[in-house]
């Protein structure tokens, strides 16, 4: 008996359908015409499906009529079908047909891989092609049947019990460590695709690292795909956030003995944690899928995967970028469901919002927004008004310089860093623009620029006011500094 096909079973399935046409509906939920090995059997099954669609009798005469019209009728092979006894447990035999069909495709794929090894110069193209084919093969499954009300009640009660056991302070999913944000989102679900979007300099990577650090401190694992920043720089930003020391001091080793001890302690913490960073700049959705499957199997504690950022991911093929990004976002969503790890994908926003008076982002500002917005379970935006105020002040200063004059910025009690005014902490709005399982809203956090870290506003206090202009209107700018905080155990 061949491991790739069984002609007797194929004939028995077709014979059973002729004997009991009502069984076609159940059988077709498990196999399709392409799952049959013999071409004639495929055509017979396809003809049966056509008759069912047209609500016509599924019998020898009507099937023969379709096959004759297609020039595909074979009387000898049809007689072999009718000579085979029908079987009672046709569903189990149908699943065997599907299993053999998958094995055939895997065998064919092995030959294709061998050909591609000779065809392509680099191994990357071979691997991408193979992973794409394997993913398509894994998706070759028929959908399940409807669940009736009684079944749904049982499933829902079991789900409620499971979620209730996992809930901590009303939060079911992965906590962001910010209570106000968790109150809106309910946490990040283990099968969720969360898109974090903002314009450049708003702090997308910083916010993702803040979430990652919170997860690591809870003993959970984090996988971080950094497509833009080298892993060393990314890691040192985590060290800065962990030690509460300015990033610049750590990078330049401008540290006192006590600060150096804190850095060493933080590095010891990360050394023992389940932190995994991949800075491959040319990774594709297939590469992410392959690496995350392996990582999750080896390290089940991984509870968050970050992609920084979505538009930098590679795609196999040269189709329209909107289509490619759609495949990437859909692939990330399917991966989250498969390995049960929330995927946090950072995303750029279109430049269009820059011309609006209110520059707070909205869903339509997402770059390649259609597919991303559709696939995402949650969309978070970051908005920091100070970024635009600083930009306006810089533009005024540049215009004055070109005109031979001098521009003096409004007085403030900001601190100086690198020769420019920098507020130690400025307010940042986290806008929940989409939440599939809950409300939307806005949460205000503090952004500590020196550490590139987001903090709770309860940890900061106003230090003074200054005057600025937003869209030509004079506004009051409240500046903040950090309260004296106890260092977390590191």
**3 state SS of 48:** helix
To which CATH superfamily is domain 174-482 assigned? Answer: P-loop containing nucleotide triphosphate hydrolases (3.40.50.300)
- What does R_g of the chain's alpha carbons equal in angstroms? 30
Rounded Cα distance, 325 and 311, in Å: 7
To which CATH superfamily is domain 7-138 assigned? Answer: DNAb Helicase; Chain A (1.10.860.10)
Residues 6+ apart with CB under 8 A from 127: 286, 287, 290
Rounded Cα distance, 426 and 10, in Å: 69
**3 state SS of 87:** coil
What confidence score (pLDDT) does residue 422 get?
46
What confidence score (pLDDT) does residue 476 get?
37
What confidence score (pLDDT) does residue 68 get?
92
Mind listing the pLDDT tens digit for each residue in 332-368?
A: 888 888 888 999 999 888 887 777 878 888 888 886 6
List the helix and strand counts (H, then E) for the chain.
17, 13
What confidence score (pLDDT) does residue 482 get?
46
**437-438-439-441 Cα dihedral, nearest 10 degrees:** -80
Domain segments of the chain as ranges = 7-138, 174-482
DSSP codes joined into one string, 179-222: HHHHHHH-SB-TT-EEEEEE-TTS-HHHHHHHHHHHHHHTT-EE
Name the token pair of 467. 């005057």
**Sign of torsion over alpha carbons 140, 145, 151, 156:** positive
Residues of the chain with pLDDT under 50: 142-143, 318, 412-423, 461-490
Rounded Cα distance, 18 and 228, in Å: 60
Residues 6+ apart with CB under 8 A from 279: 225, 226, 227, 229, 230, 231, 234
What confidence score (pLDDT) does residue 136 get?
63
């Amino acid at each position: 008996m061949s491991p790739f096909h069984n002609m007797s079973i194929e004939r028995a399935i077709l014979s059973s359908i002729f004997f009991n046409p009502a069984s076609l509906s159940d059988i077709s939920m498990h196999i399709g015409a392409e799952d049959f090995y013999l071409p004639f059997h495929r055509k017979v099954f396809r003809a049966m499906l056509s008759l069912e669609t047209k609500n016509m009798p599924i019998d020898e005469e009507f099937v023969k009529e379709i096959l004759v019209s297609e020039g595909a009728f074979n009387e000898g092979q049809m007689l072999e079908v009718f000579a085979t006894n029908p079987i009672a447990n046709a569903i189990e035999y149908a699943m065997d047909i599907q299993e053999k069909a998958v094995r055939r495709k895997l065998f064919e794929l092995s030959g294709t891989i061998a050909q591609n090894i000779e065809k392509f110069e680099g191994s990357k193209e071979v691997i991408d092609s193979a992973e794409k084919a394997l993913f398509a093969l894994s998706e070759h499954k028929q959908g399940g049947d409807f669940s009736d009300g009684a079944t749904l009640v049982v499933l829902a009660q079991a789900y409620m019990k499971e979620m209730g056991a996992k809930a901590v302070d009303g939060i079911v999913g992965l906590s962001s460590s910010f209570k106000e944000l968790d109150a809106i989102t309910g946490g990040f679900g283990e099968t969720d695709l969360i898109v974090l979007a903002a314009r450049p300099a708003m702090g997308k990577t910083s916010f993702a690292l803040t979430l990652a650090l919170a997860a690591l401190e809870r003993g959970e694992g984090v996988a971080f795909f950094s497509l833009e920043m080298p892993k060393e720089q990314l890691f040192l930003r985590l060290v800065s956030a962990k030690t509460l020391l300015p990033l610049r001091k750590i990078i330049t080793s401008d540290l006192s003995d006590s600060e150096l001890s804190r850095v060493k302690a933080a590095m010891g913490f990360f050394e023992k944690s389940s932190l995994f960073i991949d800075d491959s700049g040319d990774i594709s959705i297939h590469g992410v899928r392959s690496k995350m499957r392996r990582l999750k199997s080896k390290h089940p504690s991984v509870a968050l995967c970050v992609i920084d950022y979505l538009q930098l991911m590679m795609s196999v093929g040269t189709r329209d970028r909107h289509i490619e990004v759609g495949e990437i976002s859909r692939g990330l969503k399917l991966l989250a469901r498969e390995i049960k790890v929330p995927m946090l994908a950072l995303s750029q926003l279109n430049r269009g919002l820059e011309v609006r008076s209110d520059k707070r982002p909205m869903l339509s500002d997402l770059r390649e927004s259609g597919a991303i917005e559709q696939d995402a379970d949650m969309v978070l935006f970051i908005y920091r008004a100070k970024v635009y105020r600083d930009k306006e002040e810089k533009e005024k200063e540049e215009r004055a310089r070109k005109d031979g004059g001098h521009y003096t910025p409004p007085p403030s009690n900001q601190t100086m860093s690198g020769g420019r005014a920098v507020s130690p902490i400025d307010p940042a709005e986290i806008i929940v623009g989409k939440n599939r399982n809950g409300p939307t809203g806005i949460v205000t956090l503090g952004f500590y620029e020196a550490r590139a870290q987001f903090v709770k506003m309860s940890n900061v206090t106003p230090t003074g006011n200054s005057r600025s202009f937003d869209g030509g209107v004079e506004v009051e700018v409240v500046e903040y500094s950090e309260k004296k905080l106890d260092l977390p155990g590191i």
